[in-house]
Amino acid sequence: MPDEQAQLLRALHDAHGPALFRYVAGLTRDYGFAEDVVQETLLRAWRRPEILEQGTERARAWLFTVARNLVIDDRRSARFNHEITSENLPENSTPDGTDTVLDKWLLSDALLALSLEHRTAVVSAYYLGQSAAEIARNENVPEGTVRSRIHYALRALRLELQERGVTE
């Protein structure tokens, strides 16, 4: 969109957006839906640049007509006619396992950011349940090195998770 059209659309929104919102909110008593209708109306104005170039009163009339038609179309839709609202929501939700999957994904992603030695130490100790002595034998390194790797790996893992917004 050329800069001139953007300025015209911004001016159209500033001049008529609040009144258009009040009009739609008065028709529907649904503020969220009213915001959607205003946004869709302005999107349609953006798609038709000739509307932006009309006089203020003609553009205003066009905006209000489009908004009214959007409300009418929604109220005639099958979604609106078959939607049942209720004040009583079900008390028990069924866990779908999404949180578990996301946690595993975040943790595996953070583990991949660690060095191979640190990742091996953490996985061996915490997922495979091996002791520091067992890990040292398997990796052919001193036991103190394994303990040090676990310590620094956990610090690095904490930082990786903080960067991903998981922990503070």
Report the pLDDT value the prediction gives residue 79, as an integer from 0 to 100.
Answer: 67
Residue 125 inside a domain? The answer is yes
Residue 91 within any structural domain of the chain? no
pTM of the complete model beyond 0.85: no
The count of structural domains within the chain is 2
Q: Are residues 39 and 67 in the same domain?
A: yes
Tell me what pLDDT residue 116 has.
Answer: 93
**pLDDT-derived band of residue 81, with 50, 70 and 90 as boundaries?**
low
Which of 51, 82, 113 delimits the end of a domain?
82
Distance of CA 101 to the CA centre of its chain: 17
d(CA 50, CA 95): 51
Yes or no: say if 41 and 63 are a contact pair by the CB < 8 Å rule.
Answer: yes
**Average pLDDT value for residue range 72-78:** 80
Tokens of 98: 């999404």
Model confidence at 94, pLDDT cuts 50, 70, 90, reads confident
Q: Which domain, by its residues, includes 119?
A: 98-163
Domain identity same for 124 and 73:
no
What's the confidence (pLDDT) of residue 90? 66
**Are 54 and 83 spatial neighbours (Cβ–Cβ below 8 Å)?**
no
* Residue 111: partners with Cβ closer than 8 Å, 6 or more residues away: 119, 122, 123, 157
Distance of CA 132 to the CA centre of its chain: 42
| 72 and 130 fall within a common domain | no
User: For the domain that residue 70 is a member of, what is the CATH number?
Assistant: 1.10.1740
| CA 130 from centre of chain | 39
